[in-house]
Amino acid sequence: VVGLGLIGGSLLRRLADQLPVCGYDADELTRAAARDAGYEVLESVGELVRTSQLVVLAVPLPELPAVIAEVAAAAHEHLVVTDVCSVKAPVLDLVRPTRIPYVGGHPMAGSERSGFAAADPALFDGAAWVLCLEDDTPLVTWLVLARLVTGMGCRVVPCTAADHDQAVARVSHLPHALAAALAAGAAGSPLALALAAGSFRDGTRVAATRPELSAAMCVGNAPALSIELDALIARLTELRRRLTDGEDPTDWFLPGHQVRTGWPRPAAGFDLTDGEDLRLRLLDVGRRGAAVTGIGKDGEGRLLLSCAG
Amino acid sequence: VVGLGLIGGSLLRRLADQLPVCGYDADELTRAAARDAGYEVLESVGELVRTSQLVVLAVPLPELPAVIAEVAAAAHEHLVVTDVCSVKAPVLDLVRPTRIPYVGGHPMAGSERSGFAAADPALFDGAAWVLCLEDDTPLVTWLVLARLVTGMGCRVVPCTAADHDQAVARVSHLPHALAAALAAGAAGSPLALALAAGSFRDGTRVAATRPELSAAMCVGNAPALSIELDALIARLTELRRRLTDGEDPTDWFLPGHQVRTGWPRPAAGFDLTDGEDLRLRLLDVGRRGAAVTGIGKDGEGRLLLSCAG
């Protein structure tokens, strides 16, 4: 595990129960803290790569180019790389030229805290965990990682990096932008803030996120977020037009009502067996909003993937 | 109390502890339910008006014109009227021609439930309660109502109908529109909904409101909401431009961050004494986001208004 902050540190703690695992962090104090907590901590990315078969990159996006160069310099033929960044296409673009087998990952878990001191092996319990499946992702590598992640009690959502980035723009980055825009509208309005209640409280909650974190998140996924912003602005412009024209907006409110009252939906289980087109069938699982929950064998020794959604 | 739904019914129950109070509802079953619960229920608006000094209109906005005509037909010289509608300028426009002393009111309390069966005397505990103060509102009438409302444990926020409508457009109607627009964006995206977590959950919560209720709320306050929609669309368009131009959006996120981390703010107490310009000083209390919390007398028998904010 390269990078021992909240996510990387939690992963080191969680995996140590089931695998031989070691870590590295660019910060000397973080390395000392992890070592004091009883974990094996190495002194460079190169040393870690040379002694590992699977490397998890858990550093912020701006630090990834330098770290990936260090990984590539020490790469060996048994090496597999994954990561935990909240945006996937830019990471794919960075790793692909190294030709190291790579599966992009994104655990949908976190907290408002940060650093190794906040690391918690239970952070991922029950979480969705995206594992990206591109045309050139080795399926066997994807399955190894999926088994590791389902073994941690997570649901593995298979999708492409592009589909992931559009989806998180829609349900995570856009809500952060809207919360900030809504809260900003009440600046300089003490009367409005005195009358604000539940809808303002919930609609602006994530506006309390540190501005530089929200900004980095949006910039890192700018193309996908721009598409979502355009669609949202168009929807609001249509509501504005109806108010001007005196046209009933009830059916404008209907799609959002249907989505929200139907979410989250109850999950049903189903199985996938290994065979033809497994890659396409896995991508279809993610596209349907379902996930792989376990990987085992059927009575005849064939791969059997338990799914739910 | 005319209209015994959630708000009117809760008010009937709450006031019955301290005043002789009676109610009316257009629905026969609701009248029977209130009577069975031990309350005095009359058979017409006219009968109620003739036996009351203060009438509280607690019917939906579309029913108000007819109810106000009935009230005006039975009006007497000691009658005072208030209401609990969530929009104030349209009600003022309806009542003003009757020349009945009127103070617009809006308790900032509610629940997702409705009807007399859901009525709860504790619904208003600790709530802000707007009482409108226009140039032509008799100050003595306003003070009588303010004493009644503070006596129920509510904070009275003095403001004009126009300022009220702009404030609730900003912190209540706009959040409802944004929640619906955000939720609608995820329609037909099972993958996005599978990855959605806290920011989507909170940002879309009020999209579960019945579409016809959200629509009626927005149409009832269309001029004020249109101004807020324009401002919000402009803010989002600026973020969109920054993403396109590769300009750092950190300071775009800053005002919302400041508003949200400073809200709700701790309140400090202060007093107002009766005298010159009390009307203007009361409006200033509301404009500052403060409220009247109690009305009593000072050592020399003069009116003393306790405030907080």
Residue A149 confidence (pLDDT):
97
| B291/A197 Cβ within 8 A | no
Burial class (CB in 10 A: 0-12, 13-18, 19+), B74: middle
Report the amino acid identity of residue A92: L
Q: Which residues contact A102 (CB under 8 A, 6 or more apart)?
A: A80, A81, A82, A92, A95, A96, A137
Q: Which residues contact A97 (CB under 8 A, 6 or more apart)?
A: none
User: Residue A190: which of B280, B107, B259, B84 has the closest Cα?
Assistant: B259
CB atoms under 10 Å from CB of A59, counted, come to 23
Residue B30 confidence (pLDDT):
98
Q: Cα(A283)–Cα(A271) distance, rounded to whole angstroms?
A: 14
Q: Which of A259, A283, A293 to mutate to test the interface with B (most CBs of B within 10 A)?
A: A259
Burial class (CB in 10 A: 0-12, 13-18, 19+), A62: exposed
Residue A112 confidence (pLDDT):
66
| B189/A256 Cβ within 8 A | no
Residue A213 confidence (pLDDT):
87
pTM comes to: 0.91
pLDDT tens across B217-262, in order? 999 999 999 999 999 999 999 999 999 999 999 999 999 999 999 9
Q: Which of A14-23, A107-116, A287-296, B184-193 has the lowest mean pLDDT?
A: A107-116
At residue A179 the predicted structure's pLDDT band, cuts being 50, 70 and 90, is: very high
Roughly what angle, to the nearest 10 degrees, separates helices A211-220 and B222-245?
70
Nearest-Cα distance to chain A for B127, in Å, is 9
Contact list, A133 vs chain B (CB under 8 Å): none
CB A294 within 8 A of CB A305: yes
Helix (H, G, I), strand (E, B) or coil at A232: helix
| A249/B215 Cβ within 8 A | yes
Contact list, A180 vs chain B (CB under 8 Å): 252-253, 255-257
Structure tokens that stand for A225 in this block: 């977020």
Mean pLDDT of A218-235: 97
CB pairs under 8 A between A and B: 334
| B181/A239 Cβ within 8 A | yes
- Across-strand partners of B303? B297
Helix (H, G, I), strand (E, B) or coil at A220: helix
- Has residue A5 got a pLDDT over 90? yes
Q: Cα(A157)–Cα(A154) distance, rounded to whole angstroms?
A: 9
Query: How large is the ipTM?
Result: 0.94
Sign for the pseudo-dihedral over CA of B219, B204, A118, A215:
negative
**Regions of chain B where pLDDT drops below 50:** none
Residue from the list B172, B187, B208 with its beta carbon closest to the beta carbon of A255: B187
- Has residue A23 got a pLDDT over 70? yes
Mean pLDDT for chain A? 96
Report the amino acid identity of residue B206: V
| A189/B170 Cβ within 8 A | yes
Residue B79 confidence (pLDDT):
97
- Has residue A111 got a pLDDT over 80? no
Q: Cα(A170)–Cα(A128) distance, rounded to whole angstroms?
A: 16
Residue of A nearest to B207 (CA): A257
Nearest-Cα distance to chain A for B199, in Å, is 6
CB A140 within 8 A of CB B164: no
CA distances from B211 to A245, B118, B227 (A): 19, 21, 21
Residue A109 confidence (pLDDT):
86
